[in-house]
Structure 1
Amino acid sequence: MYSRTLRGVIENKIGKGKAILLIGPRQVGKTTLINQIISDKKHLFLDADDPTVRSLLNNPNTEQIRSILGPHKIVFIDEAQRIAGIGLTLKIITDQFKDVQLMVSGSSSFNLSHELNEPLTGRKWEYELYPISWEEYQETQGYLVAEQQVENRLLYGFYPDVLNNPGEEKEILKQLVNSYLYRDILAYSNIRKPEVLERLVQALALQIGSEVNYNELSQTVGVDKNTVSNYIDILEKGFVVYRLNAYSKNLRNEIKKNKKIYF
């Protein structure tokens, strides 16, 4: 079990009157982390993958929420992005049930950020969780083992499932891509040409470390520049890639220069 640096940060925010929101890619350990934090406390766990839970939390009134929460002072809603209108529901809980510590996880920033930002303004602590960091890995495995694994980690990354199942890295990563990555992106972003998205991902992978030119990418992939820009934005919201700005002592030059894109 890997000790996550974020655990202490979140524990220090419990009981301070705001919802705690943990977002990040699927399968990086969000549910595991929150469950570790609240394991020794009486709590209510609501899994939004369950259709019944989604139905209960879809625009309930205050009295309905009261009956759902019961006597529980800690409430954990997992995969909150699956619940329509979740932002207003969380706002009611935070405003009307002051003694309840609300903890929320989400695996996609497509709808969740839009749903939560306005209703929970000033009412939430928001954190992002990513795969295991080098520091977390080295702390658990020790310096020598970590150094011996540098090449494997560069190749296969730090997803917890990958680290816990040596020898099965390729199969696990393929399952992650097929089961979660494209499924979430296609479900939440209304992409009409998934084959274009796949070509774009391949093109980005083949030029890691180079500056990205949207005009060049559009020619490579076979779509217009605006579509490329839109798809890259979708990939970033889906925690697949991130854009890195150029560095310059002149800030105006940073704005003008092309970005690099990393996975």
Structure 2
Amino acid sequence: MQETIERPEYINQLINFREKQLIKVVTGIRRCGKSTLFDLYCSYLMQNGVSENQIIRLNLEGPDYHDIKDYMQLYQLIKQQLAPDHMNYIFIDEVQNVPEFQKAVVGLFIIKNCDVYITGSNAFLLSGELATLLSGRYVEIKMLPLSFKEYLSAFDDKTDLIIKYQNYIQNGSFPYILNLNSRQEIRSYLEGVYTSVVLKDIVARCRISDVNMLDNVIRYMFNNIGNLCSYTKISNTMTSAGRKISVHTIETYLTALVDSFILYKANRYDVKGKQHLATGAKYYLSDIGLRYYLLGTKRADVGHILENIVYLELLRRGFEVHVGKVNQAEVDFIAFGSQGEEYYQVAYTVIDAGGSTLERELSPLDAIRDHNPKYLLTMDFTPLTSHNGIKQINVLDWLLR
């Protein structure tokens, strides 16, 4: 098994933006591999003529930097290490730990021989907030835990794909999982990830006082991945179950879960009307292993879990992903990319005696009259099949492309 998994898609993005007049911001859930990505990129730089004294690395979660209390201390610490006559590559992990960090980052960015890279584990670093703080002078590289293809690359033996897929979803896709040998070790590791995300990136930052209620909301969402949700529906369901919670509180908690990259939100899109819909959305987990850690294996909907895996893979491949509405039917995903739109339906299996499952899955795709590519992804091991232009593909083959 490989000790370090190459992440070429992310490395290539960093290489493409090297020395461009932009702050490179790598975002993603804790432990998804952001620091290791910087390690890999620094190795690339040194293999391509950059000396070690041109590289400045800081991880602001480390004890060596706990005394940094404001942006000026951070700025001065880095500035005194700059090599005056060479390009300096500055890497700052978990930069959000320093108040008003953006002032230090912008101060370094405007120095001509500085190429600045930062990471963070919550959305304080991006979206509207970051656009304001860094005045549009940044590019975001969105990082996820390992894809199934990356996970599989760690093994010399590429057989038994079904077993490896089961391990991938149950143990989780955080890179360090591959260094652990037992279920108990993995469970302890996932507990640490979950606790750090909830306590550091949600409870502390959002000043949430009712941690037990937050835990109830998280459990509800983990149990409803791939189901259409609204703030009102969640509030009503939880209140009916004896856990009274307001719509406003649900909105606050879900926003925090999305901002910490533990959940991703897929909004609905009307295919025929060509418009985004304001009501209803689906939520997907950044790592299915966290669901198994929190809820166990009972009542696990294998179809929705597979749907979750496909959703994340589409994000990795650079698509903007929405849930499709076609009349009263639903297409699992509309993927908007640089080459246009693609439609995806996901089902664990479509094999049954009467063929009704296959017909049900194909029906929404058949109702779309444009000529964009349409795919049905399943775990069925059948030859590549076309249903009136709809390509049915084994999902594991698709994930490994």
Does the alignment reach a TM-score above 0.5? yes
> Which gives a bigger RCO, structure 1 or 2 (Cα 8 Å, sep 6+)?
1
Aligned 8 A contact 1:19 1:102 in 2 = yes
Aligned 8 A contact 2:25 2:139 in 1 = yes
Aligned 8 A contact 2:71 2:98 in 1 = no
Note the aligned Cα RMSD (angstroms). Answer: 2.6
Compare the two structures and name the one with the higher strand fraction: 2
Distance verdict in 2 for CA 1:18–1:194, change over 3 Å: same
Aligned to 1:45: 57
Counterparts of 1:205-244 in structure 2 under 5 Å?
205-219=222-236, 220=238, 221-244=243-266
Distance verdict in 2 for CA 1:63–1:20, change over 3 Å: closer
| 1:242 Cα deviation after fit | 1.4
Counterparts of 1:104-253 in structure 2 under 5 Å?
104-109=118-123, 111-113=124-126, 116-141=130-155, 143-168=158-183, 169-219=186-236, 220=238, 221-251=243-273
Aligned 8 A contact 2:75 2:108 in 1 = no
Distance verdict in 2 for CA 1:66–1:75, change over 3 Å: closer
Residues 190-199 or 176-185, more deviating: 176-185
Distance verdict in 2 for CA 1:112–1:70, change over 3 Å: same
* C-alpha distance in structure 2 between counterparts of 1:239 and 1:93, whole Å: 27
Residues 234-243 or 201-210, more deviating: 201-210
TM (normalized to structure 1)? 0.87
Distance verdict in 2 for CA 1:62–1:202, change over 3 Å: closer
Instruction: Choose which of 2, 6, 16 in structure 1 pairs with 2:5.
Output: 2
- Give the partner amino acid of 1:20: K
| 1:25 Cα deviation after fit | 0.8
* C-alpha distance in structure 1 between counterparts of 2:211 and 2:79, whole Å: 43
Distance verdict in 2 for CA 1:208–1:50, change over 3 Å: closer
Name the count of aligned residue pairs. 261
* C-alpha distance in structure 2 between counterparts of 1:205 and 1:119, whole Å: 32
Residues 136-145 or 34-43, more deviating: 136-145
Distance verdict in 2 for CA 1:66–1:178, change over 3 Å: closer
Q: Residue 35 of structure 1 aligns to a residue in which SS?
A: helix
Gaps of 5+ in 1: none
Instruction: Please tell me whether residue 14 in structure 1 is matched to residue 18 in structure 2.
Output: yes
Instruction: Please tell me whether residue 88 in structure 1 is matched to residue 103 in structure 2.
Output: yes
Distance verdict in 2 for CA 1:147–1:157, change over 3 Å: same
- Give the partner amino acid of 1:112: L
* C-alpha distance in structure 2 between counterparts of 1:258 and 1:159, whole Å: 29
* C-alpha distance in structure 1 between counterparts of 2:210 and 2:71, whole Å: 33
Distance verdict in 2 for CA 1:252–1:62, change over 3 Å: same
Runs of 4 or more consecutive aligned structure 1 residues displaced over 6 Å after TM superposition? none
Gaps of 5+ in 2: 286-401
Instruction: Choose which of 25, 29, 36 in structure 2 pairs with 1:25.
Output: 29
Residues 54-63 or 124-133, more deviating: 54-63
Aligned 8 A contact 1:54 1:83 in 2 = no
**Which protein shows a greater Rg?**
2
| 1:156 Cα deviation after fit | 2.7
* C-alpha distance in structure 2 between counterparts of 1:50 and 1:62, whole Å: 14
- Give the partner amino acid of 1:83: V
Distance verdict in 2 for CA 1:153–1:234, change over 3 Å: same
TM (normalized to structure 2)? 0.59
* C-alpha distance in structure 2 between counterparts of 1:47 and 1:147, whole Å: 38
Q: Deviations over 1:106-127 (max 9, x none)?
A: 1121x33366422423422211
Aligned 8 A contact 1:85 1:115 in 2 = no
- Give the partner amino acid of 1:237: D
Aligned 8 A contact 1:65 1:93 in 2 = no
Distance verdict in 2 for CA 1:251–1:99, change over 3 Å: farther
| 1:195 Cα deviation after fit | 1.1
Distance verdict in 2 for CA 1:248–1:155, change over 3 Å: farther
Aligned 8 A contact 1:241 1:261 in 2 = yes
Instruction: Choose which of 277, 283, 288 in structure 2 pairs with 1:261.
Output: 283
Q: Percent identity?
A: 22
